[in-house]
Amino acid sequence: MIKFNSKVQFSISDTPLPHNFVAEKIILSCLLINYEAIEVTIKTVRVETFYFINHQEIYRAIVEMYGKELPINVFSVNDFLKETGYLNKIGGTKVLLELVNQIPNLVYLEEYIQLIQDKFLRRSLINLGYEAINSAYITNIPLEKILNEFEKKSFKLTNELIEEKKLTTADLFTSVFLELKEKALKSELPGLGSGFYDLDSLTQGFQKSDLIILAGRPSMGKTAFVLNITENILKKYKVPILFFSLEMSKEQLIYRLLSNETGISQTRLKIGNLYKEDWQKLKESIHKYSHLPFFIDDQANLTTQDIRSKIKKILFEKNKIGLIVIDYLQLLLTSKSKSENRVQELSQITRALKNIAKEFQIPVIALSQLSRNVESRINKRPVLSDLRESGSIEQDADLVLMLYRENYYNPTTEKNEKVTSAELIIAKHRNGPLGIITLSFQSDPTKFFDTFDSI
């Protein structure tokens, strides 16, 4: 936590901050005459939500009495404030009598609560603005630390605003009905189609707020497969995709993409062994990808907070984001310094990724390594318990996919065989069936096909 300098350059002026005096009085009046109003209010309203000090003290007394299961009315609250020494501070008994003399309409209680919460959030935003100004003058603290702290506080304030806008049951049912009506008029998948027919038919596409884990042992083709999915989504939906590559460099991924698109092997691309006709293919592919909203980030020591910041930047620029891909999970950090308990840290990471998916309403695909225990078994087909440093991966994920190739453990002896296959295991699906899908690829696993595609 940043501690700001005691010599404040800027401070809030004597001008009253945003508040609603009448709404505060009406809410307190409701609390003094109706016990049910207390149960509604106490769930959402904090003491500091009230602007006036005497209103804060009255509300604090009511909350304490409610916690102690004491009867709450104007007389009991008056006695409680007197015993605790706060009665004179709120203005005496006459203030409480004024509150109960105006008979409030309980039907509008929630609207009054929203009014004072709106004013409280505006006051918080003003305070945050002054903190930002003051902290900018503190030169002995790194700017990155100041910006990170400001972003955390800003994010917390945004979450409070989201929490404030809770939908009623009627609103939720209406929203679901309209969504069903829209789906009925469209023949498209409700989520983002991966481009693999079997997978999409089982998952109905990658849904908003889903955390998808794609796991496998090294060299199974995880990165290649997720790149195939990324290409398919980019070309079909034209939505911005942010690809976090913690293992490979940007250049390595670009070579893979160009190899997939042109059919030119990565080896020939890297050494520049190109034929005349290859140049036209490359030119067309580069032109195509240059116009697609694909963003690759290969920053080392990436944290979940970094991911959140970069998503916000893309949203600011493009006003939309379709998919996040992370390659791979075990290289992520919760903070810039590594934790001794890696399992616990990974649990925090998967929880943070799930929260990101929910917050931004986008699917998040995270690649994951599998434990070496797979190698020691006779049947090497992976299961959920093989997730490396699994922690809460299984719990937080909505969909867990596992890539498995039999010929990885039993290499083929036929030199001329160019086509081989892989299994895509749906090990967990929160909203659908489990199963195994057969994928095909040519030579090295860089370009995958599902069973319904011709090779």
Superfamily classification of domain 21-164: DNAb Helicase; Chain A (1.10.860.10)
DSSP collapsed to 3 states, 382-407: CCHHHECCCCCHHHHCCEEEEEECHH
- Give the span between the Cα atoms of 62 and 76, in whole angstroms: 10
Report, as an integer, the average pLDDT of 110-130.
Answer: 87
Return d(Cα 270, Cα 215) in angstroms, integer.
28
Fold of 188-450: Rossmann fold (3.40.50)
Does the pLDDT at position 340 exceed 70?
Answer: no
Asked if pLDDT for residue 223 goes beyond 70, the answer is yes
Residue 141 scores a pLDDT above 70: yes
How many other β-carbons are positioned within 10 Å of the β-carbon of residue 308? 19
Report how far apart the first and last C-alpha atoms of the chain are (Å, whole number): 57
Which pLDDT band, with edges at 50, 70 and 90, does 365 fall under?
very high
Res 391: pLDDT: 59
Contact between 323 and 362 (Cβ < 8 Å): yes
- Asked if residue 370 lies in contact with residue 213, where contact means CB atoms within 8 angstroms, the answer is no
* Structure token digits, residue 285: 């592919």
pLDDT digits (tens, 9 = 90+) for 27-45: 888 888 887 788 778 878 8
Phi first, then psi, for residue 425 (nearest 5°) are -95, 125
Residue 388 has pLDDT above 70, yes or no: no
Q: How confident is residue 172, by pLDDT bands cut at 50, 70 and 90?
A: low
Work out the pLDDT band at 4, boundaries 50, 70, 90.
very low
Please tell me the pTM assigned to this model.
0.63
Where do you find CATH 1.10.860.10 in the chain?
21-164
Euclidean distance between CA atoms 342 and 167, whole angstroms: 38
Please give the C-alpha separations between residue 372 and each of 216, 404, 410, in angstroms, as whole numbers: 10, 14, 17
Token pair belonging to 272: 């520049």
For a pLDDT cut of 90, what percent of the chain falls above it? Answer: 5
Please tell me the predicted confidence (pLDDT) of residue 1: 39
pLDDT confidence of 366, banded at 50, 70, 90? very high
Q: Start-end ranges of CATH 3.40.50.300 in the chain?
A: 188-450
